[in-house]
Structure formats: C-alpha cells, structure tokens
Amino acid sequence: MIRRQMLVYAALLPTTWTAAAVAQDQGTSPPAAGSATAKPETAPNPDAASKADAAPKRTPAPADAYVYIGWPNDGEVVHISPTSPHIKVWFGARNIGVAPAGTYKPNTGHHHLLIDVPLPPLDEPIPNDKNHLHFGLGQTETYIDLPPGTHTLQLLMADGDHIPHDPPVMSKKITISVRGSATAPGAAQQ
C-alpha cells in the first residue's frame, strides 16, 4: 500500500529528479509499523545509498505489470512473399510504462524480443544480437525477417540498463509458423 503510493508519487516527479534516489529510498525503507520516520519528503541519506550499492541491481516491477505480443497470435501461420517479406510484430504493455533505454524512472522499461531462444539470465543485461532484439527507443512494434519454418517469440522487458525487472516482466512464449518465401523463385537480380 505504502509502496504503491510512493510509486505513483515518483511517477509524478519531474524527470530531472533522480529516479535512482527514489528507488533507493523505496528499497531500503524498513517495514515501518507506524514509524514516524517514513516521510515521503525525506532526502536520501548516505547510509541508505551505501546499503543500496551492496544490494542486487534489479529494478523492482509492480506485481501487476505484464507485457504481451499483440500480433502475431500464438499458433499463427504467417505468410511471407517477395512483395511482403517482413513479419509485423507488435508489443503490448500494461501497468508499466515504456521508456527509452537509459531511462531510470521507476515503473518503466523497454521491450526486447527474443527469437528462437530461451530466457537469458535475468540478473544481467540482455544480450544484443539477432536473437535478442532491443527496442531502446521505446518502440512498441517492429518488422522482422524469418525464414520459413517454426519460430518462437517472447517479449522481455528490461530497465534502463537492459537488466530485466524483479520480478521479470515477460510475455508468454508464442510459436508461429512462417510459410512462403521472401524471394521469388528464379529471381536472379535485385
């Protein structure tokens, strides 16, 4: 209850406010039973900062945050052709904001699309390669190219440093079937 109010409060702060300070304040708040010291206006103190440094760096996520792949659907048969070789994928997020990489505002993150891979380690930055696509500008849709066959897609959100939240905010892993060909039979040039 208190935490939720503080998250809302933090979300209303100007972006020039250091989100890290807010997070540290939350992370080190004692489970104060009616404590008179739990004042929202309290400035971060050096003791709190040093304790936070020693703690894991995972950014907290609200328990009701989730992401989902809006398209394609799980089990979808997706057709590609020389005139339509790309596969559109769009991402949905609820109860968590989408913000560019490098943003440290509480309750935000950016999308990552995992293609044909299991979840990466959740306590370090998500790899950046053709199987782990980062949408660090805050994009919520993309077009991907996949060869014909069966493929899996999964969304995983991460914080400003590309590290998944705690608990991780991720979609169900879906399976799609790509059919057709992006290149015309016998196409020699262009």
Contact residues: Cu ion, CB under 5 A: 134, 162
Smallest separation (angstroms) from Cu ion to the CB of 39: 35
| DSSP count for the chain of H helices, then E strands | 3, 10
Of 48 and 117, the one with the shorter C-beta distance to Cu ion is: 117
Smallest separation (angstroms) from Cu ion to the CB of 111: 8
Residues with Cβ within 8 Å of 41's Cβ and at least 6 positions away in sequence, in order, are none
Smallest separation (angstroms) from Cu ion to the CB of 161: 8
Cis peptide before 46 (omega within 30 of 0): no
Smallest separation (angstroms) from Cu ion to the CB of 61: 15
N-term to C-term CA, the chain: 60
Residue 93, beta-bridge partner list: 67
Tokens of 56: 């894991």
Of 98 and 178, the one with the shorter C-beta distance to Cu ion is: 98
Q: Where are the beta strands (DSSP E) in 34-168?
A: 66-71, 77-80, 87-94, 97-98, 108-109, 112-115, 132-134, 141-144, 149-155
Of 134 and 151, the one with the shorter C-beta distance to Cu ion is: 134
Smallest separation (angstroms) from Cu ion to the CB of 46: 31
Of 66 and 135, the one with the shorter C-beta distance to Cu ion is: 135
Of 106 and 178, the one with the shorter C-beta distance to Cu ion is: 106
